[in-house]
Amino acid sequence: DASLSDALSSEIISRASGDVSLSSALSTETSYRVSGDASLSDALSSATSSRASGDVSLSSALSTETSSRLSGDASLTTKLLTETSSRASADYSIIISLSNTISNAISTIVGSTTPSTLDTLYELANTLQNNPSIINTLSSTLITETNCRVSGDTSLSTILLTETSSRLSGDASLSDALAILMASVESLMARV
């Protein structure tokens, strides 16, 4: 009986000691878990904040580029409309100038009033053929007007090339900025 009582007492003491060790280990594990959860929560909060900041930066960059693009498009449209208007005005001026030159040449040849005998192209051609100075005047006027037209075409081509170059440069800058922002967002996403 005494040895059974001693064995039972020893088992109770061992069990109590094991319970204390188990309780201590459980308390330590709980503390580690709480600390890990807090670290994970902080990391998640930081990643969410960084993502939101990146989204705002990306949105701002896109808005700025869109505004710049719209402004550039409006500027190009205005320049094209101005050039088209100038071209139409030049065309009208050429027509009026040639009409006046021809009328003056005819008046010079036949006097202040045109007789009814000069009412066909054949009669006009015969009359002009007999007066080379009229042909020279008409040729000179046509050459001057052609040179004005060529100069206007060159000016328009230069403006269009400059605008195209500016637009391509802006597109490249936007692509670079978007690539940097996307890499930053992907980096933030990888951390989460």
* Residue located via tokens 């939101």: 52
Residue 113 clears pLDDT 60, i.e. is over it: no
**69 pLDDT band (50/70/90 cuts)?**
confident
Residue 90 clears pLDDT 70, i.e. is over it: yes
Long-range contacts of 141-145 (CB under 8 A, 24+ apart): 141/97, 141/98, 141/101, 142/98, 145/93, 145/94, 145/97, 145/98
pLDDT at 77: 83
Enter the pTM of the model. Answer: 0.36
Hey, how many other C-beta atoms are within 10 angstroms of the C-beta on 105?
20
Q: Which residues contact 187 (CB under 8 A, 6 or more apart)?
A: none
Q: In this predicted structure, which of 38-42, 117-121, 173-177 has the lowest mean pLDDT?
A: 117-121
CA atoms within 13 A on the CB side of 88: 6
pLDDT-above-90 percentage for the chain: 2
Q: How far apart are CA 109 and CA 105, in angstroms?
A: 6
Mapped onto helix, strand or coil, the DSSP state of residue 120 is coil
Residue 120 clears pLDDT 80, i.e. is over it: no
Q: How far apart are CA 56 and CA 45, in angstroms?
A: 17
pLDDT at 150: 83
Name the H helices within the chain: 2-110, 121-129, 132-191
CB 54 within 8 A of CB 183: no
Residue 24 clears pLDDT 70, i.e. is over it: yes
